[in-house]
Structure 1
Amino acid sequence: MFEIFILIFGLVIGSFLNVCIYRIPLKQTIVTDPSHCVACGKRIKWYDLIPVISYIILGGKCRVCKQKISMKYPLVELFNGAVYLWIYSFYGLSVQFYAFGFLASCLIVISFIDFEHQIIPNGIIIFMMIFGIIFPYFNKSLGYSDAVIGFFAASIPLLIIAILSRGGMGGGDIKLMAVAGLFLGWKLILLALILGCIVGSVIGLALILLKKIQRRDKIPFGPFLATGIFIAMLYGNQILQWYIGMYF
């Protein structure tokens, strides 16, 4: 039963993430303005805001103007709910669950915004940094020294790449890895960087081979870094133990 509660909680938060994904790039408030249809502007009633269920009942269309609602909305809700269950299966109801659930939700918002608009908003980074500074105080297995080193461990190499490539690496990517390092520590954030680069390289190469993009086309790196962070968050220690075990 508790897993069902975690899923519902994740779905509800996922609904709020949709608001963030849509409004933050447009510099609209995510707090005071009520939810409204992006096509006709009509306010959405509370019974049409039930995560996933309302989308199914409405047939994926606005109740007023009948314009199609993007599948992205229920998918984000479902994905966030599934991610919360995933994290709960690893950490139970612990400090790590709340911290990594928060981090994962931020990564979802960042990934969608970066993919659609090629930006990682500073407001989200600052919000993450506040919680990232608080997290080590409650997570005794991490500690502030590990968190501080983690802040610089992956962000400094990316900063060097950005300088040498004259803008080839976005500032948002650098800041993302810095604040994520506060949550993961230096070992896991370096692993996250490596994993993100591998995922980005594989997908980028596949898109080039499929002729979806050209070799010189720019693709947002944030979603790949977010993937690396998420993998390191859940499986990082096992991956490091496996790697070290190959040599010792």
Structure 2
Amino acid sequence: MIPELLDGTSARILATILAGVLGLVIGSFLNVVIWRVPRGESVVSPSSACPRCGHTLSWWENVPLISWVALRARCRACRLPINLRYPLVELATGVLFALVLWHFGVTFTALAFAYLGAVAIALALIDLDVHRLPDSIVLPSYIVVPVLLGAQTLIDAHAGSSELWPLWRALIGAASLFAFYFVAAIVYPGGMGLGDVKLAGLLGFALSWLGWGPLIIGAFSAFLLGGVFSGVLLLTGRASRKSGIPFGPWMLAGAMVGVMWGRALWSSYLQIFT
């Protein structure tokens, strides 16, 4: 079993709550990332400000969720509405962190997938906004995620519950999914971009570290979800066959399915067809 730092249901619930609170804070920072990174701006300075009137936010205007409610969803200076996206990003990140902690326990695995979840939220919204997956977010993740999962692999191997095979499997999965998307980008350049290819390698590593089942389910779910969404847009006339529909968000949504339910779904598939 993967060692946990906390034992007992009560401790696990407390850790999950704390992870959720941390997620709210990280979500507030992600709002800055989503707005500034596509514009080539620093995410460190200047301080957060209203994008419409430039009013610099005080600390109490930056408290996740609470400030949005206290301000009645309006800027204190110009009184224009604050986009609902901001509290939704904070809430989504908090929920995701809590789910990851509950699923994996207090481990490096949870830290790796919480980080990947935060990256996923930022990338999905940036891709929807500007149809681009910034290298400044994707490429550093090629270091962070393998380091964290590598640390967990070493801990598990030292505990005698596994060997180093998960890392080798992750490398094989990363190369395989990267190659698949690379070929797809060449064959169908209008449907895949190099940003999708780079993201595929990262997701392939993380999913394959968990197992072949999560990789297969995660990759398949991306095309299933993306296909259904595109079909709905076509049927409702909100898009045409020539419309550029970002695929990055569906790659990330599919990966989440693979992480959370990939093993169970793959096991069920094997039981039915074997």
Query: What range describes the TM-score normalised by the shorter chain of this pair?
Result: over 0.9
What is the rounded CA distance, in whole Å, between the counterparts of 1:218 and 1:51 in structure 2?
33
SS in 2 for 1:246: helix
Give yes or no for the alignment of 1:53 onto 2:62: no
SS in 2 for 1:119: coil
Equivalent pair of 1:177/1:189 in contact (CA under 8 Å): no
Residue in structure 1 matched with residue 237 of structure 2 by the alignment:
211
User: Where in structure 1 do 4 or more consecutive aligned residues deviate above 3 Å?
Assistant: none
Q: How far apart are 1:223 and its partner, in Å?
A: 0.6
| Structure 2 counterpart of 1:211, one-letter code | G
Q: How far apart are 1:207 and its partner, in Å?
A: 1.2
1:78-157 aligned at under 5 Å gives the runs 78-140=91-153, 143-157=166-180
Equivalent pair of 2:65/2:90 in contact (CA under 8 Å): yes
Q: How far apart are 1:136 and its partner, in Å?
A: 3.4
Equivalent pair of 2:108/2:149 in contact (CA under 8 Å): no
Per-residue Cα deviation, 1:123-174 (whole angstroms, up to 9, x for no partner): 1111211112313322326632112112112121111111122443111111
What is the rounded CA distance, in whole Å, between the counterparts of 1:99 and 1:247 in structure 2?
33
Residue in structure 1 matched with residue 192 of structure 2 by the alignment:
169
What is the rounded CA distance, in whole Å, between the counterparts of 1:132 and 1:181 in structure 2?
11
213-222 vs 182-191, greater mean Cα deviation: 182-191
Give yes or no for the alignment of 1:181 onto 2:201: no
Equivalent pair of 2:23/2:97 in contact (CA under 8 Å): yes
Give yes or no for the alignment of 1:76 onto 2:89: yes
128-137 vs 68-77, greater mean Cα deviation: 128-137
What is the rounded CA distance, in whole Å, between the counterparts of 1:136 and 1:55 in structure 2?
36
What is the rounded CA distance, in whole Å, between the counterparts of 2:35 and 2:143 in structure 1?
23
Q: How far apart are 1:214 and its partner, in Å?
A: 1.3
Structure 2: gaps of 5 or more residues: 1-13, 154-161
Structure 1: gaps of 5 or more residues: none
Equivalent pair of 2:207/2:218 in contact (CA under 8 Å): no
What is the rounded CA distance, in whole Å, between the counterparts of 1:183 and 1:135 in structure 2?
10
Residue in structure 1 matched with residue 272 of structure 2 by the alignment:
246
Match of 1:27 among 40, 48, 55: 40
What is the rounded CA distance, in whole Å, between the counterparts of 1:189 and 1:19 in structure 2?
31
Per-residue Cα deviation, 1:83-127 (whole angstroms, up to 9, x for no partner): 111112211212211111000110000000000110000011112
Q: How far apart are 1:190 and its partner, in Å?
A: 3.4
SS in 2 for 1:139: helix
- Provide the aligned length of Structure 1 versus Structure 2: 248
| Aligned residues: CA RMSD | 1.5
SS in 1 for 2:273: coil
| Structure 2 counterpart of 1:122, one-letter code | D
